[in-house]
Amino acid sequence: MFLLLFMISCGETPKKVNDKVGEKITEPESLRPSPKDSVAEGDGDGQKEPFLLTEENAIDFFFNYGKDLKEDRVKITTSMGSFTVELYDNVPYHKANFIFLAKNHYFDSTQFHRVVKDFIIQGGSTDDREIMKKRGEIGRYLLPPDSKKGHSHHRGTISMPSSDRDNPHKLASPYEFFIVVTRPGSYHLDGSYTPFGRVIEGMDVVDAINNVPVGDGDWPWKSVYILKAEAL
């Protein structure tokens, strides 16, 4: 099983939780972008070349992509029910990234692959090779942290973990997200990770996911799938 584990610093969490968030990112293959929500480049002969997101072009891409966005919410339908997150306008790159991935159906068929009781649920990954292929078709990139916009890790906050790949500045893993379930919050995460929205409907579903039985690495014994993520 190709297992991606993400560990978050845990001053108030159970001892089994390690103090890092990390990701092993696969090498990109090719990009077959959605016509509406991706871009393509010409090759000089009028042909369209697939566009691949990289660490060099991601910020410019999401800056321009976010300019025309009308959506500011994403409804996430899971195998245990649905919940809706509202995304913060003043965290523009992370907001644009999340909506872009939702519109390109990246999250569909991914799982909540890490569940820590009374702390967080974490989604956006799976051991399915098709999801690894989806990542390769979008690109290999990280996002800069944006943790000084006045948002804290209150209960219901959606935030982005950081990659463990040669990453002293805690750049964010764009394909992953976690939601805080701690009451009233997990404020020791502030300053290290980027809150980019909050759950506005369906927190009971988030809590239900947080209560599923888990095994080693906090992976649920029974898979909890994201069936669909829809930008609203």
Measure the CA–CA gap between 19 and 170, rounded to whole angstroms. 13
- Angle of helix 58-67 relative to helix 92-103, nearest 10 degrees? 80
**Residue that the structure tokens 């992509």 belong to:** 65
What is residue 216's DSSP assignment? Answer: G
Closest to 116 in 3D by CA, of 195, 182, 49? 182
Q: What are the backbone angles phi and psi of residue 207, rounded to the nearest 5°? A: -65, -40
Strands 81-87 and 139-140: unpaired
Give the length of the chain.
232
Half-sphere exposure of 194 (CA within 13 A, CB side): 28
Look at residue 167 in the predicted model and tell me its pLDDT: 59
- The superfamily CATH assigns to domain 72-231 is Cyclophilin-like (2.40.100.10)
Extents of the domains making up the chain? 72-231
- Residue 78 tokens read as 């899971």
Q: Give the Cβ contact number of residue 75 at 10 Å.
A: 16
Look at residue 49 in the predicted model and tell me its pLDDT: 73
pTM: 0.80
Q: Is 212 helix (H, G, I), strand (E, B) or coil?
A: coil
- Strand-pair partners of 201: 84
| Each residue's pLDDT expressed in tens, for the chain with a length of 232 residues | 333 334 444 434 433 443 344 443 333 333 333 334 554 443 445 556 788 999 999 999 999 999 999 999 999 999 999 999 999 999 999 999 999 999 999 999 999 999 999 999 999 988 888 889 999 999 999 999 898 899 999 999 999 988 665 556 678 889 999 999 999 999 999 999 999 999 999 999 999 999 999 998 899 999 999 999 999 9
Determine whether 192 is exposed, middle or buried from the number of CB atoms within 10 Å of its CB (0-12, 13-18, 19+): middle
Q: What dihedral do alpha carbons 131, 134, 135, 139 form, nearest 10°?
A: 180
**Residue that the structure tokens 């980019």 belong to:** 196
Strands 48-50 and 40-42: antiparallel
Measure the CA–CA gap between 163 and 140, rounded to whole angstroms. 12
What phi-psi label fits residue 164: left (phi over 0), alpha (psi between -120 and 50 degrees) or beta? alpha
Look at residue 126 in the predicted model and tell me its pLDDT: 85
CB 59 within 8 A of CB 93: yes
**First vs last C-alpha separation in the chain:** 34
